[in-house]
Amino acid sequence: MHVCKANAITMHDEPAGLLHLYTRKDEHFSTATLLMGSGTTGKLVTEVKKQLDGAKETAEVAILDGSPGIGCPVIASLSGVDLAFMVAEPSLSGISDLKRVAQSAKQLKVPVAVMVNKYDTNEAICSDIETYCQKEGLPFVGKVPYDTEAVRAINEGKTLIEIDSKGSEAMKDTYYKTLQVLKEYKSL
């Protein structure tokens, strides 16, 4: 039988990631970098949200960009939010993930609004997503086309609202519809 000497193993805290909070006037962006090998992504999302809590007091809307798919980070992202704005891709995995996350949101009593990104890459599945939303009573707030102008703008460091394109107009329309849905839920 082999036995380790006393104090052969020491315990110490090991960071799971690095938190970052960026502030410009009354705009705040909270994010984190997960360190390689860390498995505590849900806890890191919770810390990102805590960091944003102090900053969001001056903001009318705080947006949390959750990770794609389903799992601990998604559940942590959904916890305590006023509205889950889900961006679906028109693919089999996209609609599958949407259904699973929407079900999780329902269990957590979080209202959901849905949009489809790059809808014109598979209009049949986009239609399936719209049908699913209608059947489940989920507000469908928009669909944004694949837009090479948007890709070019992003590569140049611009945002979609800084350019004039089909994708930009669809995104603005989706934004205003989403704000309307959020206001309706918050007034209930």
Q: Domain spans of the chain?
A: 16-63, 66-187
Contact 70, 81 (CB under 8 A): no
Confidence (pLDDT) at 56 = 64
What pLDDT, on a 0 to 100 scale, did the predictor assign at position 89?
95
3-class DSSP state for residue 34?
A: strand
Nearest to 38 by CA among 28, 47, 50: 47
The sign of the CA dihedral 151, 152, 155, 161 is: negative
Q: What is the pLDDT along the chain (188 residues), one digit of tens a residue?
A: 778 788 878 888 877 788 888 877 777 778 888 888 777 677 888 888 888 877 666 667 777 777 766 677 888 888 888 889 999 999 999 999 999 999 999 999 999 999 999 999 999 999 999 999 999 999 999 999 999 998 899 899 988 888 999 999 999 999 999 999 988 887 75
Does residue 19 sit in helix, strand or coil? strand
Q: Does domain 66-187 have CATH number 3.40.50.300?
A: yes
Whole-structure pTM value: 0.79
Q: How far apart are CA 147 and CA 164, in angstroms?
A: 11
Exposure class string for 83-111: b at 16+ Cβ within 10 A, else e:
bbbbbbbbeeebbebbeebbebbeeeebb
